[in-house]
Amino acid sequence: MAVGIFDSGLGGLTVLDAVRRRLPDLPIVYYGDNAHAPYGVRTANDIYALTTTATEKLFAAGCDLVILACNTASAAALRRMQESWVPRDKRVLGVFVPLIESLTEREWGDNSPPREVAVKHVALFATPATVASRAFQRELAFRAIGVDVESQACGGVVDAIEDGDMILAETLVRAHVDALRRKMPEPDAAILGCTHYPLVEQAFRNALGPEVRVLSQPNLVADSLADYLQRRPNMVGPGTESLFLTSGKPRQVSDRATQFLRRPIEFQAA
């Protein structure tokens, strides 16, 4: 029985690793659309088309539940997919909601009206497409009032991570944090709104300083998935084999993934 995890590239491996630690016996099919990464500079229609194509591949691999471990896809495509595309016997979930539930100190599935929360000033670091979608602000408004959100589009960071140039990625992170602080000098919390960003999380923490609470997604998504499957065990699909699939060059993607996770990863052509 398998669950699918999708990302435009390698960032979703941070979520996969957290899910593996939380649910070690759960088969996972991971699909990275490396041939078309990054998504963060694409149009909403393009992101939707690529995301539905990838999700179809995960359904075909035996996954009834797919996690969009890509904030850009979650922001630009998820709502449209859920409203008009996802089959009735399948589920596609994003990565924003677990993050916002943690930020607003809500339990899983708490659908009570929005209310005042402790955090008042939030910095959102994300891809240009995620920032443009305003999906984070929309989801936050369902749960909290009185929260000021300042967004920073972190151009170039995903590209540098995918290329394995972590020195450039960390340099860009510092520049983007400086730009954000010019707009919001004293954030209470910072959201790392891309699943690639945990790979440079320490750079964000160093640039933001110890007084800023930094929320990163992998462990939050893993805990939320465990809760979801406990409530809906029927959503674990019929697949029994863990796989790593890519639209890119399997050898190249495997080498980069092995470097990121520091353990052997073998991708297959999707």
Per-residue confidence in pLDDT tens, the chain, 270 aa: 689 999 999 999 999 999 999 999 999 999 999 999 889 889 999 999 999 999 999 999 999 999 999 999 999 999 999 999 999 999 999 998 888 888 888 876 777 899 999 999 999 999 998 999 999 999 899 999 999 999 999 999 989 988 889 999 999 999 999 999 999 999 999 999 998 899 999 999 999 999 999 998 899 999 999 999 998 888 886 868 899 999 999 999 999 999 888 899 999 998
Q: For residues 256 and 252, what is the distance between their CA atoms, to the nearest angstrom? A: 6
Q: How many domains does the chain have?
A: 2
Q: Do 165 and 225 share a structural domain?
A: no
Q: For residues 192 and 158, what is the distance between their CA atoms, to the nearest angstrom? A: 12
Q: In this predicted structure, what is the pLDDT of residue 80?
A: 96
Peptide bond into 38 cis (omega under 30): yes
Give the contacts of 151 (CB within 8 A, at least 6 positions apart): 124, 125, 126, 131, 136
Q: For residues 121 and 48, what is the distance between their CA atoms, to the nearest angstrom? A: 31
Predicted structure pTM score: 0.88
Q: Do 106 and 38 share a structural domain?
A: no
Q: Per residue in 237-258, is it b (16+ CB within 10 Å) or e — as a string?
A: bebeeebbbbbbebeebbebbe
**Beta-strand pair 268-269/213-215:** unpaired
Residue 63 bears catalytic tag: no
Query: Which three-class secondary structure string do you get for 100-164?
Result: HHHHCCCCCCCCCCCEECCCCEEEEEECHHHHHHCHHHHHHHCCEECCEEEEEECCCHHHHHHCC
Q: Pick the catalytic residue: 18, 58, 68, 70?
A: 70
Boundary-marking domain end, from 215, 231, 260: 215
Q: Do 195 and 118 share a structural domain?
A: yes
Q: Do 76 and 146 share a structural domain?
A: no
Q: Do 190 and 229 share a structural domain?
A: no
Of 141, 94, 86, 138, whose CA–CA distance to 113 is shortest?
141
Of 270, 240, 192, 260, whose CA–CA distance to 32 is shortest?
270
Q: Do 81 and 51 share a structural domain?
A: yes
Q: Do 150 and 56 share a structural domain?
A: no
Q: In this predicted structure, what is the pLDDT of residue 108?
A: 65
Q: Do 136 and 54 share a structural domain?
A: no
Q: In this predicted structure, what is the pLDDT of residue 7?
A: 96
In this structure, what CATH number is given to the domain that contains residue 165?
A: 3.40.50.1860
For 26, the 3-state DSSP assignment is: coil
Boundary-marking domain end, from 178, 199, 215: 215
Q: In this predicted structure, what is the pLDDT of residue 1?
A: 60
Q: Where in the sequence is the domain holding 202, given as residue range(s)?
A: 97-215
Q: Pick the catalytic residue: 65, 194, 208, 270?
A: 194
Q: Do 253 and 119 share a structural domain?
A: no
Q: In this predicted structure, what is the pLDDT of residue 96?
A: 85
Boundary-marking domain end, from 197, 215, 233: 215
